[in-house]
Amino acid sequence: MSIPARAYLDSASAEPLHPAAHATLAAALDQGWADPRRLHHEGRRARLLLDNAREVVAEAFAVRPDEVTFTSSGTDAVHRGLLGLHRGRRTGTSAAGTLVHSAVEHSSVLHAARWTQDPVVEVPVTRTGVVTPQALRERLEQLTEAGTRASVAAIQHANHEVATIQPVAELLEELGDVPLFLDACASAGRVALPDGWAAAAASAHKWGGPAGVGVLLVRKGARWRNPFPGDDRVDERGSGFENVPAALAAAAALQAVTAERADLAARQTALVDRVRSTVAALPDVEVAGEAVQRLPHLVTFSCLYVDGEALVTELDRRGVAISSGSACTASTLEPSHVLAAMGVLTHGNVRLSLTRDSGDAEVDHLLDVLPEVVRDLRAQVGL
């Protein structure tokens, strides 16, 4: 077996820069540095590049170019999309209504919901992380019985820790006229986005674009209002000066990964299936999330009696870069809220996510060293 010098298996944190993005970024740095809202030659040239990036992204996501806004990050796009829909439901000076979100949303959604200081309702999930139509219906009925309403529902397209894809079409039937905010940061570029949402967010470094570029999508007709102080720029959905070269590089990467998506998904699905079946056979190891309705490149599993951060550290020493989605942090000492909401093992958790270049060699190396690392760590605590 050919052993790679390093097996980087953490694309869910950051996918390596796509070659298309690298080449585009280098060229755009020389052409797109000016303010795209100025009327001089340099500004008009930057505006053409920005408009081109917007059109490419719109085509990839099957939306209109004027529904695309580039933000400073995926988190920024999440905050603007969710809070903008929430604010858009205000009527006069009355309460904005109750913000509804699933129990497994990204922390950026949870922090935004708390920031509003308005009522928030959480929808539970199944043991595989699925929001069922029945669970959503029950929460909405409880609001109706209490004499209030939902302002917006935040339901991610796919989970960032366990890869489970949500049944968005079925959930939309329960929502009725309640607008849906779709966090697509984990799925954008990897699987096609569903229809029916009012606003969505994506993050370029998840698909091989440069870091520091988020994408906010707001559909025409959505009742969205800027939740933050604005400026005099034309697009009220954004904030400040767009990074035109980075936006163009992000668009180039998105266009490339969308074109190769089917073949890449098939290859990554087969590799992840191998990981899922192999690690599930290890003693006291639990694989989390849906086995079929999931993102193709990602899998999370938990090892009983093993510290997640120690497992990440020991694998790194053996040339495998992987992340821990549930390790307690020094500041909060809290395990993963996603795994806790699912009711699965939260201790000793690691998340593997393949890059576009990951192959058999990287997966073989992980599966070769993992059993020994788990045994050694358990032995250190007397097991």
User: Which residue among 328, 337, 340, 347 is the active-site one?
Assistant: 328
The per-residue pLDDT for 96 is 62
Backbone angles phi, psi at 342, to 5 degrees: -80, -20
Count of all residues that appear for the chain in the document: 383
3-state secondary structure of 268: helix
Q: Is 140 exposed, middle or buried (0-12, 13-18, 19+ CB in 10 A)?
A: buried
State residue 234's pLDDT score. 55
- Within 10 angstroms of residue 167's Cβ, the number of other Cβ atoms is 16
User: Does CATH place domain 7-17+261-380 in 3.90.550.10?
Assistant: no
Does the annotation mark 185 as catalytic? Answer: no
Which residues of the chain does CATH 3.40.640.10 include? 19-259
pLDDT (0 to 100) of residue 238: 76
pLDDT at 2: 65
Residue type, 213: V
3-class DSSP state of 218: strand
Query: Which residues, listed in sequence order, are joined to residue 351 by a DSSP beta bridge?
Result: 300, 323
Q: Which CATH architecture has domain 19-259?
A: 3-Layer(aba) Sandwich (3.40)
pLDDT given at position 235 = 65
Going from the first residue of the chain to its last (383 residues), give the mean pLDDT of each consecutive group of 10, the final group possibly shorter: 82 96 92 88 91 97 97 96 91 67 97 95 98 98 92 97 97 96 97 97 97 96 89 70 94 97 97 97 95 97 92 95 66 76 92 96 96 94 76
Q: Given this model, what pLDDT does residue 174 score?
A: 97
Q: List where CATH 3.90.1150.10 sits in the chain.
A: 7-17+261-380
